[in-house]
Structure 1
Amino acid sequence: MRTRTGRLPRPGTGAAGRWGGALAAAVLLLAAAAAPVAAEGSRTEFTIADPRITESSGLAASLRHPGVYWTHNDSDDGPYVYAVDSTGRTVATVTLRGVKPRDAEAISLGPDGSLYLADIGDNLDGSWSEVWLYRFAEPADLHDQTVDATRYRVRYEDGPRNAEALMIHPVTGRAYIASKNERTGGLYQGPETLTASGVNTFHRIADVPWITDGAFSPDGTRLVLRGYFLAESYRWKDGAPQRIGALDVPFQRQGESVTFAPDGRSLLYGSEGRNSTVVRVPLSGDRLPDSAAAQTSATPTPSAPGGGPASGTPAAAPATPAGKAGSSRGTGILVAVGVVALLALVFRRRRSS
C-alpha cells in the first residue's frame, strides 16, 4: 500500500486518509521495535529473491504449475506479473500488452484457469471514478512472454473507495472486492458474469475488517481475509460469508498478501519489501475447507490393540470453536491490541479536531 511516488499514504487528507496514514505509521514503528512473532506451526516457505520484486502485493498459488506462485508489485512498476517457484526464483515474467496499471493491489485465479490482476488501489480516499480488473489466461509454459488481457471496468454502488483485495470464487467464477476506506471495510460482489463492454457495478454484501488481501479456498467453502497483523476465517455459504474466527498470522514487515495452498490445508502469507519471505501456516478444525476436512476424517488412524492410538501416533487435536483463535498468539495479540488502541486514539483526536 504505497502512493505512486513509493511513499506511504500521507495522513491528514480526510478521515479515511488519517486512518490509513496512522495505520501505516504504526506498522513501521512496530516493525522496527518488535521482534517477529511466528504463528504456531508456521515455516518460511521461500524468500522472493528477484531484485525487481520489492513491493509484492498479491499472491496466487498456481494449480497448473505445482509449486509456483504468481505475484506482482504494488505500484511504480509496470504491467508485469511474476511466476515464482518454491525456492523463491522467478521462472517467468508475464507482460500485459498495452496495460498501464495505476495501483495494482491483488491477483486471483479463476476456475477456468484465468488470472485476474486487480488495479483497484486508491490511496487518495476514493478519487478514481472507476478501477479495473485485467484477465488473462495462465500460461501453459513458464517463460518470459507478452500476453493480451481483457479489461473490466469496475465501479462501486456507493461510490469510489480504496481496496487491496480481489477474490475470484473458484467454483462460480464470481469476483469479490474488499474495500479499506472505512474503519470497517466492505465486501463487494460483482455481477454474475463480468462484461468487457460496459461498467461492472459491485454491490456491498457484508462488513469486513480493514484488510490488505483475501483468498478463497480451492473448493470455495472458506474465505480468508488478512490485514497487517490479523486474519479472519469465514465459511462461504449461499454466496455470503459467515465468520468462523481469527487465524494465526505471522508478523511480517508489511503483510500484504495471502493465498491458500492448492490442497487447502495451509495458508501462505506474503509481505512487501526486498527479499520478502512467504510464510506457510497450517490450518485445522473449522478453518479447514470442507474438502480438506473430509479427507482428514476419511484417513484411518492406526490403532493399537484395545482400540487406542498406536504407539507414537499423536491424538487428534480438538476442533477450534468458531469465533476463537486457533492457538495462543502471545506477543502477536499484544502487538495487534496496541495497534488498534493507537489507531482508535488517533482517529478520535482527528475527529474531534
Structure 2
Amino acid sequence: MRTSLGAALAAVLLSAAPATAAGEDGGFAIEDPRVTESSGLAASRAHPGVYWTHNDQDRPRVFAVDSRTGKTVATVTFRGVGTPRDMEAISVGADGNVYVGDIGDNLDGSWDHVWIYRFPEPERLRDQTVEATQYTVRYADGPRNAEALMVHPTTGRVYIASKHEDGGGLYEGPARLSAGGPNVFRRIGEVPWVTDGAFSPDGDELVLRGYFSARAYAWKDGRLGAEKRLSAPIQRQSESVTYTVDGSALMYGSEGTNSEVARVPVEGARPAPSGGGSAAPGTSGATPGPPGGSGDGGGGGGNTTVGVLVLAGAGALVLLWRRGRRRG
C-alpha cells in the first residue's frame, strides 16, 4: 500500500510541476555573493541564456549570469565614465550595445542630471574592461527619481519611467543620444509606481512592474496604448523585469543576496527560431491576471493549474488510503 501511495504521489507531483522545454531559459537564483542589489535585468542578445545584472551603488560594472546555473560567467567593467551614483536599470539594444541607467535619485530631485552608460556587448564572455560612452540626461519638467530604462528594439530610442508613490511618468529621449551635451527627456505618458520595464522583442508591447503588480501596454507609434494587468510573482523586493530573448517568457528579478529570478510564460507566444532575437510577429504580451484582479499573483498564471492538480492528487491519495484500510 505504501508503494502504491508513493507512486501515486510521485505521479501527481511530476504532473503538477511546471515544465521548461529544452532550450528555454528557466528561473534561477543569482549565486554571486557580490550581487546583493540586483536592480536591473536584461537578456543578452549575443549569448542566449545569459542575463546582465548590476548592483545599485557600485563600481561601473555589470555581471553576466548563466540562467542554467545561476553562476556569473563574466564581470564587465566599463571605463571612460565617472563614478556611478545609483545604477537602477539595464537594457540591451538591437544595435548590439548594453545601456545602463544611472538614474536613481532617492531624494526625488537632488540631482539636476543623471547618466546613461553605453558599451558594446562583448563577443566573448570573460572578465574584461571595455570603453563606454557616458550620456548626460535631464528631464524637461525637472529632476526626479527613476528605476526603469527601456531601449525600443526597432527604433533604438531610449525611454525612462520615473518612480513616485503617486504615480510616475514615461519619458522619451531624443531620437539619438548625444555625448556632446544634455539629452532632454520629455514626458509622454502617465504610469504607476515603476521599478523596472522592458519592451517585447517585437516592440509591440511595453511591460512595467512595481513592487506588487505588473502591467503591459500596447505600444504603437511611440505611445502607450491599451493596458492589461499581468500575473507577477511575489518577491522579496520586486526590482527588475525583462523578456527572454525569444519573447516566450518574462523574467522577474529581486534584490538581495542569492536573489531569485522567476520565469513567467507569455500567453500565446511562439518562440522565435533558434538563434532568433525576436518573438514571432504579433505574439508580444504576457500572461494576464484574472479579469478584474490585482495582478499580484504569487508566481505567474501557471500556479493556479499547479494548485488544482495538487488538490486533485491529494484527494485521489486519500481515496486510495481509505480503500486500502477497508481491504486490510
Q: What interval of TM-score do these two structures reach, taking the shorter chain for normalisation?
A: 0.7 to 0.9
Does residue 1:119 correspond to 2:119, yes or no? no
Residues 42 and 280, structure 1, Cα contact 8 Å, conserved in 2:
no
Q: Is there any run of 5+ residues in structure 2 with no aligned partner, and where?
A: 1-16, 21-25, 273-277, 301-328
Distance 2:262 2:19 in 1: 7
Paired residue for 2:251, among 257, 268, 274?
268
Residues 232 and 247, structure 1, Cα contact 8 Å, conserved in 2:
yes
Counterpart residue number, 1:196: 179
Residues 37 and 256, structure 2, Cα contact 8 Å, conserved in 1:
yes
322 and 151 in structure 1: CA distance in 2 versus 1, 3 angstrom threshold: farther
Paired residue for 2:78, among 93, 96, 99?
96
Residues 180 and 210, structure 1, Cα contact 8 Å, conserved in 2:
yes
328 and 60 in structure 1: CA distance in 2 versus 1, 3 angstrom threshold: closer
Paired residue for 2:201, among 215, 218, 231?
218
Counterpart residue number, 1:59: 41
Larger Rg over CA atoms: 2
TM-score normalised to the size of structure 1?
Answer: 0.71
Q: CA RMSD in A?
A: 3.0
Counterpart residue number, 1:151: 134
Distance 1:42 1:56 in 2: 26
Does residue 1:241 correspond to 2:224, yes or no? yes
Counterpart residue number, 2:63: 82
Counterpart residue number, 2:6: none
Residues 229 and 289, structure 2, Cα contact 8 Å, conserved in 1:
no
Q: Is there any run of 5+ residues in structure 1 with no aligned partner, and where?
A: 1-39, 297-318, 333-353
Counterpart residue number, 2:120: 137
Identity %: 62
Counterpart residue number, 2:322: none
SS of residue in 1 equivalent to 2:39? strand
Distance 1:68 1:280 in 2: 14
Distance 1:264 1:98 in 2: 33
Distance 1:182 1:156 in 2: 19
Kindly provide the amino acid, as one letter, of the partner of residue 153 in structure 1. T
- How many aligned positions are there? 271
328 and 170 in structure 1: CA distance in 2 versus 1, 3 angstrom threshold: closer
Which segment is superposed worse, 277-286 or 130-139?
277-286
Residues 214 and 296, structure 2, Cα contact 8 Å, conserved in 1:
no
SS of residue in 2 equivalent to 1:56? coil
Q: CA deviation at 1:184?
A: 1.2
Distance 1:142 1:205 in 2: 37
Counterpart residue number, 1:34: none
Task: Please give the per-residue CA displacement for 1:74-101, whole angstroms capped at 9, x wherever unaligned.
Answer: 11x2111000001110000000114311
Q: CA deviation at 1:244?
A: 2.9
Counterpart residue number, 1:4: none
Does residue 1:255 correspond to 2:238, yes or no? yes
Residues 38 and 255, structure 2, Cα contact 8 Å, conserved in 1:
yes
Residues 228 and 288, structure 2, Cα contact 8 Å, conserved in 1:
no
Residues 248 and 325, structure 1, Cα contact 8 Å, conserved in 2:
no
Residues 245 and 325, structure 1, Cα contact 8 Å, conserved in 2:
no
Paired residue for 2:27, among 38, 45, 53?
45
Residues 92 and 144, structure 1, Cα contact 8 Å, conserved in 2:
yes
TM-score normalised to the size of structure 2?
Answer: 0.76
Residues 167 and 215, structure 1, Cα contact 8 Å, conserved in 2:
yes
